[in-house]
Chains A and B, each alone.
Chain A
């Protein structure tokens, strides 16, 4: 039987291709509300995830998600497709994140560099989020280095190609590839540890029930 997590994720791959995203942005430029909604639901997890990986604070990431779509709405008319709509959206996201970090640094509201291990105490993820998802994000943000988690989110969540990620983060492609594979290995180990524990506890429960 398929594990529960696999059953629930079918159909989660990014569904729109680059030219469809381009067309969607073109319709937004013409003031089409449906296109804005379509784009929003298509890329919200990518934008939010990337913002979260930079800011490590769910509330700030939510603000960036909001501002990013306002920015897309306002600048859609001047968007010139270079065949990389996702890179455009993620660049806007990244810039907004750094603006936020700057503003925070200026106001001295809080220290910019939250130690990785403390990140979850600063994050107020939605209360409806399952414990498992919460733990995965905690591990992703806390267990990976800054660049690693950005690269993982850009590839796994946004579906960007490693080459595009390298261009955007101004890193050499081999660096992006090796960081990605290292990070994914860490995450894989984390999942496998979790699965083993679940299996063990499932086994225990089963045995207890049979007694």
Chain B
């Protein structure tokens, strides 16, 4: 039996089992529109036996209640505030006006672990919070590595909420002090807010965490809600950095733990070491924690020797994820201009040794760039062509991965060249030579017919991208409709012209290299897509 058959049988069973209650939904939606308020989530079960028992119990309570005084009963059972605790476990505690617990709800699996078999109904809020924090510590959710907790008091009465928030924040802060580490408590009071309800519901998080993330997103403008929603409170606390004032309503006690990371000092050492700078000669040094592409990073900026540097260092393992170096315009040094570059005499005809010396010489004495002309000649030499052979020449000064280089592109003799020449040393960092698909030999300035006749024997007939794709698809055993991220490029590999085809289908990444003339599959790879 195939997977698909198994899935189909399961789907069929659930399809048959799902009830048709659309009429009931429609009538409830309409009564809502007509202004009748109905409590959807508290809707009674339609016809279970248990439902009837509750109904009977409710009726009984009502009768007894009216005898004893309905008001007293209601005030006892009215939820006046919801206190949520977020670490990674998120727990909601509902209390009445006397701060007696009406219910404790775990919102995720971690929270269910924390809660275990404990029952807090009727307990005081203090006892409940104390027990829950204790359980979080015991279960390792709050630890030396991740010490932050978010406390949110959700109530209509903002003034009372703020008092309760402060009291609980102090209590939790004391509970988290121990010999090994101290905690970090973020606390806030939140009131009714429709947008917050939707955010919390959509992402399945507490309103408190939704509020914290919303404020972070609004502040930075660099992150999206989606990106931050999976972060722990400790990570969010670190993102907020030292400047907690940016939050409107969030108070902060203690410092978020950075012990899970390499630390700002080590990150600084890595960045400076990479540049070869010592601490004393660096200016305007700044280091912030940030979250990019799914990982925590140290974002480091500084000025050194006339350049602005910008580093992203992986906070967990110290890898340099990105390094940028840019000329500091404010720095009082000779700026690089195109006139200066072109002032260097064109060295195409010089012997190779002279050119190399000309290139090396300035870099030994100063940090000046070699100039575009020297870079160009190096590129031409590497390609084995002369100035007269080349067309579509383009040169740009670029900076990437901590290195400054001239990026030089040109075409010559039916090939496209792409060279990167180090701007200080003249070293060839990268040299790419690719067949130029648009190339027509220089003699072909004659009418189109002659053109076709002449090029035919030189350029063998290729099978075409569509044929190549269908060869790949049939080899993979999938149809075009199942495929995403399809790319197809004509390329030359080991002297063979072929179509390089990559795509995703199901849980796999595929890569093919198909001979452009024979259609033979030269390479095929199938990898699980992580």
Contacts and interface: CB of A to CB of B under 8 A. Distances in A.
A136 interface: yes
A108 to B, nearest CB: 9
Interface string A176-211: 010000001001100110010000000000000000
A59 B54 CA distance: 15
Contact of B28 (A70, A107, A152, A173): A70
Contact of A71 (B12, B40, B103, B507): B40
A70 to B, nearest CB: 5
A92 interface: yes
Interface string B1-32: 10101111111111111111110111011001
Contacts of B42: 103
B187 to A, nearest CB: 23
Contacts of A110: 50
Interface string A70-93: 110111001000100000100110
Given A6-B5, A162-B507, A48 B19 contact: yes
B13 A62 contact: no
A63 B54 contact: no
B230 to A, nearest CB: 7
Contacts of A114: none
A160 interface: no
A143 to B, nearest CB: 12
B254 interface: no
A142 B18 CA distance: 18
A203 B67 CA distance: 71
B107 interface: yes
A153 interface: yes
Contacts of B17: 45, 48-49, 52, 58, 125-126, 129, 133-134, 137
Contacts of B50: 109-110
A21 interface: no
B530 A65 contact: no
A65 B28 CA distance: 13
A124 B48 contact: yes
Interface stretch (B198-206, B337-345, B395-403, B413-421): B198-206
A102 B203 CA distance: 18
B530 A173 contact: yes
A140 B10 contact: yes
Contacts of B8: 5-6, 9, 12
Given A49-B14, A65-B18, A137-B17, A192 B204 contact: no
Contacts of A25: none
A75 B12 contact: no
Interface string A148-160: 0000110111000
A73 B31 CA distance: 12
B48 to A, nearest CB: 5
A47 B17 CA distance: 12
Contacts of B530: 173-174
A121 interface: no
Contacts of A132: 13
Contact of B19 (A105, A126, A155): A126
A157 B22 contact: no
B48 A70 contact: no
B70 interface: no
B43 interface: yes
A136 B15 CA distance: 12
B450 interface: no
Interface of B is mostly: helix
Contacts of A99: 41
A24 interface: no
Contacts of A47: 18
B381 interface: no
B13 A140 contact: yes
A15 interface: no
A70 B17 CA distance: 21
Interface string A27-63: 0000101001100110011111100100000111011
Most buried by A among B28, B41, B106, B108: B41
Nearest to B10: A156
Interface string A113-146: 0000000000011100110111011001000000
B14 A137 contact: yes
B25 A40 contact: yes
B19 A75 contact: no
Contacts of B203: 91
A67 B3 contact: no
A41 B19 CA distance: 10
Contacts of B528: 177
A191 B40 contact: no
Nearest to A51: B18
B465 interface: no
Contact of B18 (A45, A130, A136): A45
B105 interface: yes
B175 interface: no
B18 A48 contact: yes
Given A63-B45, A65-B21, A91 B204 contact: yes
Contacts of B198: 75, 78
B492 interface: no
B45 A60 contact: yes
B121 interface: yes
A70 B32 contact: yes
B482 interface: no
Most buried by A among B5, B12, B18: B18
B226 interface: yes
Interface of A: 5-6, 8-9, 12, 31, 33, 36-37, 40-41, 44-49, 52, 58-60, 62-63, 65-67, 69-71, 73-75, 78, 82, 88, 91-92, 94-96, 98-99, 102-103, 105-107, 109-110, 124-126, 129-130, 132-134, 136-137, 140, 152-153, 155-157, 162, 170, 173-174, 177, 184, 187-188, 191-192, 195
17 contacts: A8-B12, A45-B14, A45-B17, A49-B17, A66-B40, A66-B43, A67-B43, A92-B201, A94-B204, A98-B107, A99-B41, A105-B105, A136-B13, A137-B13, A137-B14, A157-B11, A173-B530
10 cross-chain pairs, A with B, having the tightest CB-CB distances, nearest first? A48-B18, A49-B14, A136-B13, A102-B105, A156-B7, A106-B103, A133-B13, A45-B18, A45-B15, A9-B12
Given A71-B201, A73-B32, 15 more contacts: A40-B25, A45-B17, A48-B14, A48-B17, A49-B18, A59-B45, A59-B46, A66-B25, A73-B25, A78-B198, A91-B204, A98-B105, A130-B16, A173-B530, A177-B528
